[in-house]
Structure 1
Amino acid sequence: MTPSTDTSGGGPVKGVGRDVDQAVGEARVPPQTRASEVSRSRVDAGSGVRGEHARGEHARGEHTHSEVPIPRPVVQRASVRGQILDALRKALESGELRPGDVYSAPALGERFGVSATPVREAMQQLALEGAVEVVPNRGFRVVERGARELAELAEVRALIEVPVMVRLAGTVSGERWAELRPLAEATVRAASSGCWATYAESDRAFHRGVLALSGNEQLVQIAEDLHRRSQWPRRGRGDLVADAGEHVALLDALIARDVDVVRGLVGGHFVGR
């Protein structure tokens, strides 16, 4: 992928945003109740000349005092921005957006078939997540994470997730843990495929499912943000297969309520991530 700048406008970005080519289209305005229908129902409740007069006015399309103005619905852009954000995340995870390169919002917007505004808004969100950084008058540079930063992220994740999983190991029933089996198996399939973007998504889903049993939504949100930050560097297929195998072993230990094994597996799971 060839980097581009905001000042030039850039050309299409190849391979990025396929998932939103069809999703980003015209926003459909929900059907409205016609003002005349609202008024007619009120007029029909009356009688005599007044009712006939009102019906005559509506037949001519005239406004009457009995009409209640219907506010025009506001079409939100949030869904478009969200789709762009998802597509950019996948492009980062797959390596289509390369660390160190600068990308412009107009060029990416042209590829998505939208204006630069929702792209810029999505990039601002990625900047808050630490995935990109703003380059004034140029665009956004994909962050290159060093070994030190990755080690720090792994340490913070371990500080949060290890004690939570150890606690859950002694309180959650085996039946509840068994319900997460499809998520663990999905990571194994994704790892075997060698597709890093697919694996990254299934990996987050498994960890999110485990932590969700704590009932603490803030914990889940913070842990997922840290997880995303630590996932940007791509890893080889062998690492993915080993990682997925740890998910299955961890789930087996949780079902068996083997706290010592859970503590060891979760602690080692973050090493090198």
Structure 2
Amino acid sequence: MGNMLLMVHLALPHGAPSLADAVVAAVCTGMAAGELVPDDTYSVYQLADLLGVSRSPVREALLRLAEAGLVRIDRNRGFRVLTPHAHDIEEIIEIRLALEPVAARRAAEEATDEEHAGIGETLAAMDRALEDDERFWVADRALHDRLMRAGGNQRAASIIDRLRATTALLGPPTTTAGRTLREIRDEHEPIVTAILRRDGEGAERAMREHLERTGRLLASSLARTTSPGRS
């Protein structure tokens, strides 16, 4: 059985897209605040009761968190929270580097004019969202997804989308490391410009540079927020 959660203070956030998303956010907040600690085992049933939801969204949320490496589910016992590491980010960026630069080249060389127009519009959506973090990250995610799908590999696009969702769970965005939304938008511009010019080599190079910089900043940001002495 898991530890009692009666002394743990967790709450569902408002405005989450689904109950499972809300549970994910509540658990992540609890981990960041030290309410949920790595050495303890917690009960799925007690977590559901504490948050006032059924067990189904709790189980879905824990499966997502387990996929991200943030919890370990012990069958018939409960779950433990795990401390994320910079290496987790490095592994994700390594996979993205194997897929996205090549997709950017293909999008430049093989995508239709209509697909190119959609990519350009998504960059414009990032421009319009520079004062709104939530809208900006939606546009950022959409741009990478459009690039991947225009590159002709739908499965790879789905993989990248899941990896980006996992990255969002692992730690704070790179804006916490001093990079502004404007700077992030500006890193995407040479990628899109090269694609619209059908410059495959330039698109591949710009995407690689963007991902490498993002990876360095994410790993650095995660390392700063991870408590020393935890493994």
Q: TM-score scaled by structure 2?
A: 0.69
Q: Which has the larger radius of gyration?
A: 1
Cα pair distance change 1:127/1:159, threshold 3 Å:
same
C-alpha displacement of 1:142: 5.0
Counterpart for residue 56 of structure 1: none
- Correspondence for 1:203: 140
In the other structure, the counterpart of 2:227 is none
**1:19 aligned residue:** 15
Match of 1:13, as an amino acid?
L
Aligned to 1:225: 162
**Match of 2:54, as an amino acid?**
S
Count how many residue pairs are aligned between Structure 1 and Structure 2. Answer: 202
Moved more, 155-164 or 215-224: 215-224
5+ residue gaps, structure 1: 24-82
Single out whichever of 133-142 and 159-168 deviates more from structure 2. 133-142
Letter in 1 for 2:63: Q
The one of 85, 104, 107 aligned to 1:145 = 85
Between the aligned partners of 2:149 and 2:142, the Cα distance in structure 1 is 10
**In structure 2, what is the equivalent of residue 157 of structure 1?**
96
User: Partner amino acid for 2:195?
Assistant: L
Measured in 2, the distance between the counterparts of 1:84 and 1:18 equals: 10
How many angstroms does 1:8 deviate by? 1.9
Q: Which moved more, 1:227-236 or 1:133-142?
A: 133-142
Q: Does the alignment pair 1:8 with 2:20?
A: no
Q: Is the 8 A contact 2:10 2:26 kept in 1?
A: no
1:219 Cα deviation after fit = 1.3
Encode CA deviations 1:67-119: one digit per residue, 9 max, x unaligned: xxxxxxxxxxxxxxxx2333345557xx6343574475445534653223430
Runs of 4 or more, structure 1, over 6 Å off, are none
Offset of 1:127 from its aligned partner? 0.7
The alpha carbon displacement at 1:270 in A equals 1.0
Output aligned runs, 1:148-187, within 5 Å: 148-187=87-126
Q: Deviations over 1:197-246 (max 9, x none)?
A: 65544432221122122343311111222222333321325425222222
Give the aligned CA root-mean-square deviation in angstroms: 3.3
TM-score (norm 1): 0.60
